[in-house]
Structures are given as structure tokens and as C-alpha cells.
Amino acid sequence: MSVPTRTVPVPASVVLVADRVERRLAATLDREIERWGALDDDLVLPLRELRRFVIDSGKRLRPAFCYWGFVGSGGDPDDDAVVEAGAAFELLQAFALIHDDVMDGSAMRRGARTVHLQFADGHDRSAWRGEPRRFGEGVAILIGDLAHVYADRFMHGAPARVLALWNELRIELNVGQYLDVLGTARSDTDLTRARRIARYKSGKYTIERPLHVGAALAGRYDDLHEQLSAFGDPLGEAFQLRDDLLGAFGEEAVTGKPVGDDLREGKPTPLLAIANERATLDQRTTLALVGTSALTAGDIAAIQTVLVDTGAVNAVEATIDRLTAEAIAAIETTPITADASRALVELAQYVAWRDR
């Protein structure tokens, strides 16, 4: 079962900065591969895997929001500082996703086998000593840590206000991730907590904080951060709500993850919280299957049917529409440049109604 959604193409406002950020990332990681490969050939593989993970896919949303927060605040579009920040956000995202896949035991990410399983497979093929799973997860954690360190290196030399924001958003990301892990373990279906997790694990560091960093790089954080938050906070929640729908209904060929993967993991999402609140006794029995790793295609279809029949899907779609309209109304009255305002409206529409 799939839920129809609007088709919104990737806006030019993303591509504009994505190319510059990708070139910067590729140049840095290529140098690191050469540098550490000269010390020991065994160091090439993990660094190449990090390069593949960062360069070959990703939506580049965080660099885009950072860039338009910077340009909209009067920053020079040609200033390399915003490209450095964009590269840092992409590496921080790599760190978060690689570690997230280990914690969730995910098998696929962006259409490829997850990092920890790739290295576990290599251990198994080589018949090395010890447990392949532990080796794969250990290597993936280290690769994620490397991404985090490289992200910090890109922020080295940034103004004090920018560094303070960078440090805060990293804490927020980890706090949100802990709440997500805890909520999954407890089979949490509380809507308030689910919204809090969505906000801190994903929404804030995807949209609101990149905008703040951009404004701070341009020296206008103090006078613009509240208005940028009025845009970024609701849109960040809409972003995660769309992610929740894609995690439950998205097609593998498009999302790069197995259909219903989030249902197997039992993520504490607003979608599931609403469904549980509205479900009949029989429907709750079906929803109790959520979080079972061995869900069959039939189980997933049954859960998806409950999500639709309870009205949870329609409720989430309506919330996405409301939050996106709220965000757009806020940015249209924010005193930033006209081109940045138009770009951020385009980005809002893409974030809310994307298909991956």
C-alpha cells in the first residue's frame, strides 16, 4: 500500500549550493584517503566508504537552509564560509545516520547495504576471528565518529556565536536520538513525546539550526533568529512527519529503504501515536505487531491499513499542510532578501511534499 502525495521536484535553491558543498567534501575526503592510505592501505576502505556515503547520495537540505539563511541575512553568496558550514552539516548528518543504522539494526540506507553490515559481510567472507556483527558495528561507529570529527574541522575558525550554535545543535541531536531509542524500547505511543522526539532528533537540526548558523555567519543572528525559528520550527516538524509517512509507506525504489522499515523498528512517531489513540480493540492487536523485526509483507500491509482506516494518515497529512502554511506565512514577513524568501518558500514546499 502506498499513500499518494504531491510531486514536488528538487528546487534549484538546493542544487545551487549542493554542487559547491559536494566539491568541497570530495576534495577534503580525497586528500584524507591519500594521506592515511600512505600510512597503511587498510585505512583506505573505511575512508572510501565514508566518501561514498557522503558524496553519492543525500538531499543536501541542511546546506541549502544554511546558505539561504546566510544570503537572506545579507551574506555574500560567494563567501566560502557558508560552503564550509554546509559541508559540516553533511558530515554531521553522515555521523547521525551511520550511528542510527547501528542502533536500529537497519539493513538498507539510500539503496545500499548499511555500513555496519557491509563490514560485517567483509569479516565473514574473510573468515576472521571474532563475531562479524561486533566487527561491523565497531567499524561503523568509528566511521561515524570520523565524520563527526571532520564536521568539526570544517567549523574550525567560525565566529564564537556560530560555534555556540553548532555545539548546541549537536547536543540537541544526541538528546533527540536518545529519546528515540528509549521510546522505541518502551513501545511509546504518547503523542506529546513523539512530537518532542521528532523536533529534537530531526526537525531542529535539519531546518531551524542551519538557518540560525547561516544568519550567525552573516552577523544577524540576534535580530533574526526568532523570525527564522517561526519558519524553521513548524517546517522541521512537517519534515519529520513526512519522513514518518515515508518510513511507513514509502517505496523502496524511491526511498532506498525497505517498505515499512520504520514499522519493523517500532519508531515512536506521531503517526503511530494517533493510530493507537483512535484504534479499535482489533486494530490495536494489529498495531501491537509494530516493532517486530520479522514482520511479513502481509503484516506490514495490515498495519498500513490500520494507519489509513483510523484516519492517522489523513491527520498527519493535514498537520503537514497546516505547519507548512504556518512556516511560509512566517518567512514571507521576515526581513530577508527577496531571493532568499522565494527560495525558502520553494524549500518548504519540497520538504513537506517530497517522495524520498
- pLDDT tens string, the chain, 356 residues long: the values are 655 456 688 898 888 899 999 999 999 999 999 999 999 999 999 999 999 999 987 889 999 999 999 999 999 999 999 999 999 999 999 999 999 999 999 999 988 999 999 999 999 999 999 999 999 999 999 999 999 999 999 999 999 999 999 999 999 999 999 999 999 999 999 999 999 998 998 889 999 999 999 999 999 999 999 999 999 999 999 999 999 999 999 887 777 778 888 899 898 999 999 999 999 999 999 999 999 988 999 999 999 999 999 999 999 999 999 999 999 999 999 999 999 999 999 999 999 999 88
**Which residue from 81, 86, 79 is spatially nearest to 54, judged by alpha carbons?**
86
Report how far residue 293's alpha carbon sits from residue 316's, in angstroms, rounded to the nearest whole number.
25
DSSP annotation of 244 reads H
What sign does the dihedral 278-283-289-295 (CA atoms) show? negative
Residues forming beta bridges with residue 112, ordered by sequence position: 109
Write out the CATH class of domain 12-353. Answer: mainly alpha
Please, are residues 238 and 327 in contact by the beta-carbon 8 Å criterion? yes
Residue 3 confidence (pLDDT): 57
E strand or H helix that includes residue 31: helix 12-39
Residue 335 confidence (pLDDT): 97
Please, are residues 75 and 218 in contact by the beta-carbon 8 Å criterion? yes
Please, are residues 266 and 105 in contact by the beta-carbon 8 Å criterion? no
Residue 184 confidence (pLDDT): 92
Phi, psi of 113 (to 5 degrees): -65, 140
Residue 1 confidence (pLDDT): 63
pLDDT per residue over 247-267, tens digit each? 999 887 777 778 888 899 898
Q: How many CB atoms lie within 10 A of CB 252?
A: 13
Q: Which residues contact 179 (CB under 8 A, 6 or more apart)?
A: 193, 196, 197, 200, 201
Residue 62 confidence (pLDDT): 97
Domain residue ranges in the chain = 12-353
Q: How remote is the C-alpha of 192 from its chain's centroid?
A: 21
> How much is the CA Rg of the chain, to the nearest whole Å?
20
E strand or H helix that includes residue 215: helix 209-217
Residue 315 confidence (pLDDT): 98
pTM recorded for the entire structure = 0.95
| Lookup: cell for 234 | 513548524
